[in-house]
């Protein structure tokens, strides 16, 4: 009998061979755009206050989602540009890359958005994001003291995330 | 099945100056393509602001569920982007080639007005050839 | 390119022999310059015929100079006096110097005795130029027509020279034909010479 439910955390996906910390930041937003968690490991450049930074990030994700939903070349019915999409509705995206970083994105059915910013040459991180989601479920959702929609302040969760991300290539 | 779905060219202020569809499903009217172009323009700019390290020049590749979007920005701020099947290769070189065609057949044309929509027969002809060649290269894979 | 040593050798520019010069110029540089020429002239006119005339005038000045230069360089200070001679001089010598190749064809008009045509599959000038639909049959080759006219006039063969697009079967792009219509006096003189 375990204290917080019975499910095992699935084994982490194999981390790419290269060691060292390639990750820059991690964001977790809920469906209303509240930043539940922001972790930063390596961010030399900061131009905005953290609040503005989070807003901008959420806005970027929102707009990119409506862009991809509208641009989707495989579906006939695309709706109008800018109309909010429900989680899982319409064509979304899972990552983008610039010359300086790569952003991997995952949205859960409940509208939780997990964003991991890493080195531009990082490989596909979809499984890693799922694993982080798994950690979130285990350490946050199952915590009776946590009230949904508030920022996450749990040492255990942070430690687990840090440790996992550090292992990523 | 087309490997490339569509091509957009945006001027430095975010206006769509060229749009060509190579067989996407669903209709996209002029208004939609214009709005998508200007939306992409601002997303591209925001992505630079969010960079954790300096020297970011914006999104180069966006991987969506059903397509990849490759974007190339010239030093003067003109953006070229193609929407293609996920995992399509050699899009960077195709975009560079399209840029070359643009500098040749659009910028050297005395009847083209800078930053305005592109209506140049020679550009269309050469672009069609370039895209066709790309498809042939894909078939030969 | 003229070497540094050579410049030292001849202190006076007039003492220097006329070199053939570098045979190549940047196509891009030329294309941009020509593009600006067309754009400038476009701001100065209010109809297409006028634009055509201005391009022709610009070419005329080039033709007059080219004739002078080539008679000296290639012809040993002699010039052609016969109709076919001057035409083939334009078709080969002038074309080679200006465009790096001989013109694709030189033909005699079938309908009129006084008409000749020089045709190019793709005129160098038009390499990067797409004519907007609202400009109709306008052809930037008017500049080349002007050059031909300049050469002919100054060699003593007054003529009316115009540039036209001619569609070619099986080709996406039309070719450009430079139509030369000689003045009556030229043909009369030609007939006298036999």
Binning pLDDT at 50, 70 and 90, where does residue A1 land? very low
Domain-wise residue ranges, chain B: 4-139
Q: Does residue C7 lie in a domain region?
A: no
Nearest to A67 among B23, B36, B49 (CB): B36
Q: Is the pLDDT of residue A18 over 60?
A: no
pLDDT confidence of residue C20? 65
- Predicted confidence at residue C164, as pLDDT, reads 94
Would you say residue C11 has pLDDT above 80? no
Is CATH 3.30.450.70 the classification given to domain B4-139? yes
Does A23-72+83-166 carry CATH code 3.30.450.70? yes
What's the pLDDT score for residue B81?
A: 94
Is C38 within 8 Å of B105 when comparing Cβ atoms?
no
The pLDDT value given to residue B137: 63
Mean pLDDT of chain B: 90
pLDDT at residue A17, rounded to an integer: 40
| Whole-prediction pTM | 0.84
Do the domain assignments include residue C9?
no
User: Averaged over A68-73, what is the pLDDT?
Assistant: 89
Identity of the residue in C37, C130, C173 whose CB atom sits nearest the CB atom of B120:
C130
User: Is residue C12, in this structure, part of any structural domain at all?
Assistant: no
Closest chain B residue to C32 measured between Cα atoms?
B108
Q: What is the DSSP string of chain C?
A: ---HHHHHH-SSGGGS------S---HHHHHHHHHHHHHHHHHH-SSHHHHHHHHHHHHHHHHHHHHHHHHHHTTSS----SHHHHHHIIIIIIHHHHHSS--SEEEE-SS-TTEEEEEESS-GGGTT----GGGTT--TTHHHHHHHHHHHHHTT--EEEEEEEE--TT-SS-EEEEEEEE-HHHHHHHHHH-
Q: C129, B123: Cβ pair inside 8 Å?
A: no
Asked if the model's pLDDT at residue C40 lies above 70, the reply is yes
Among candidate residues B67, B108, B76, B86, the one with its CA nearest the CA of residue B9 = B76
The answer to whether residue C90 is domain-embedded is yes
Probe site for chain B from A73, A79, A95, A119 (most B CB atoms < 10 A): A73
Please answer yes or no on whether C129 and B111 come within 8 Å at the CB atom. Answer: yes
**Model confidence at A3, in pLDDT bands (50, 70, 90)?**
very low
Q: So where are chain A's domains?
A: 23-72+83-166
Mutation to test the A interface, candidates B19, B45, B53, B85, most A Cβ within 10 Å: B53
The pLDDT value recorded for residue C103 is 94
Neighbours of chain B (3+ CB pairs under 8 A): A, C
Inform me whether the pLDDT recorded for B139 exceeds 60.
no
- Residue C110's domain is classified under what CATH number? 3.30.1380.20
List CB contacts (< 8 A) between B54 and chain A: 44-45, 100
> Domain for residue C105, yes or no?
yes
How many CB pairs (< 8 A) connect A and B? 130
Pairwise CB contact (< 8 Å): A70 & B48:
no
The whole domain housing C140 covers 25-193
What are the tens digits of pLDDT across the range A73-119? Answer: 888 877 777 777 777 788 899 999 999 999 999 999 888 999 999 99
Neighboring chain B residues of A93 at a CB cutoff of 8 Å: 62-65
Tens-digit pLDDT profile for residues A125-153: 999 999 999 999 999 998 888 988 899 98
Residue C39 lies in a domain: yes
Encode pLDDT of B44-87 as tens digits.
999 999 999 999 999 999 999 999 999 999 999 999 999 999 98
Res C16: pLDDT: 73
**Based on the structure, what is the number of domains in chain C?**
1
Please give, rounded to a whole number of angstroms, the shortest distance from the CA of B135 to a CA of chain A. Answer: 17
Chains C and A touch (3+ CB pairs under 8 A): no
Q: What pLDDT is recorded for position C5?
A: 45
Cβ distance B110 to C132 less than 8 Å, yes or no, reads no
B29 compared with A105, residue with greater pLDDT: A105
């Amino acid at each position: 009998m375990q204290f917080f439910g019975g499910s095992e955390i699935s084994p982490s996906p194999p981390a790419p061979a290269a060691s060292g910390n390639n990750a820059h930041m991690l964001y977790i937003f809920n469906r209303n755009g509240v930043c539940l968690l922001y972790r930063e490991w390596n961010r030399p450049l900061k131009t905005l206050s953290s609040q503005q930074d989070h807003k901008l990030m959420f806005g970027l994700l929102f707009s990119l989602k409506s862009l991809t939903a509208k641009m989707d070349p495989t579906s006939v019915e695309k709706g109008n540009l800018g109309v909010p999409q429900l989680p899982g509705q319409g064509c979304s995206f899972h990552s983008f890359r610039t010359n300086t970083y790569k952003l991997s994105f995952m949205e859960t059915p409940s509208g939780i958005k997990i964003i991991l910013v890493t080195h531009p040459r990082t490989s596909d991180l979809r499984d890693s994001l799922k694993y982080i989601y798994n950690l979130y479920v285990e350490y946050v959702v199952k915590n009776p003291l946590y009230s949904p929609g508030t920022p996450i302040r749990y040492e255990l969760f942070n430690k687990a995330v840090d440790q996992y991300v550090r292992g990523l290539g | 099945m087309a490997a490339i779905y569509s091509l957009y060219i945006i001027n430095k202020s975010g206006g769509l100056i060229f749009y060509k569809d190579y067989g996407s499903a669903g209709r996209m009217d002029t208004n939609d393509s214009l709005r998508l172009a200007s939306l992409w323009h601002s997303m591209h700019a925001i992505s630079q602001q969010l960079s954790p390290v300096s020297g970011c020049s914006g999104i180069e590749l966006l991987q969506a569920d059903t397509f990849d979007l490759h974007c190339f920005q010239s030093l003067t701020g003109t953006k070229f982007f193609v929407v293609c099947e996920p995992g399509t290769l050699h899009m960077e070189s195709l975009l560079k080639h399209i840029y070359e065609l643009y500098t040749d057949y659009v910028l050297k044309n005395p009847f083209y007005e800078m930053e305005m929509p592109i209506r140049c027969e020679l550009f269309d002809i050469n672009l069609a050839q370039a895209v066709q060649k790309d498809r042939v290269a894909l078939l030969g894979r | 390119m003229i070497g540094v040593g050579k410049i030292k050798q001849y202190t006076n520019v007039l003492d220097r022999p006329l070199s053939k010069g570098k045979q190549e110029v940047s196509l891009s540089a030329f294309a941009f310059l020509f593009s600006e020429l067309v754009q400038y002239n476009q701001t100065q006119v209010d109809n297409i015929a006028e634009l055509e005339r201005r391009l022709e005038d610009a070419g005329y000045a080039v033709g007059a100079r080219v004739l002078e230069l080539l008679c000296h360089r290639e012809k040993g200070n002699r010039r052609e006096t016969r109709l076919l001679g001057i035409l083939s001089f334009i078709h080969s010598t002038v074309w080679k110097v200006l465009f790096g190749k001989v013109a694709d064809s030189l033909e005699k008009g079938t309908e009129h005795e006084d008409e000749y045509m020089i045709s190019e599959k793709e005129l160098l000038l038009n390499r990067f130029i797409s004519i907007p639909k609202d400009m109709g049959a306008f052809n930037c080759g008017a500049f080349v027509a002007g050059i031909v006219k300049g050469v002919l006039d100054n060699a003593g063969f007054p003529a009316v020279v115009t540039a036209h697009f001619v569609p070619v079967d099986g080709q996406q792009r039309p070719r450009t034909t430079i139509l030369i219509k000689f003045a009556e006096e030229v043909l009369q003189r030609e007939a006298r010479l036999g």
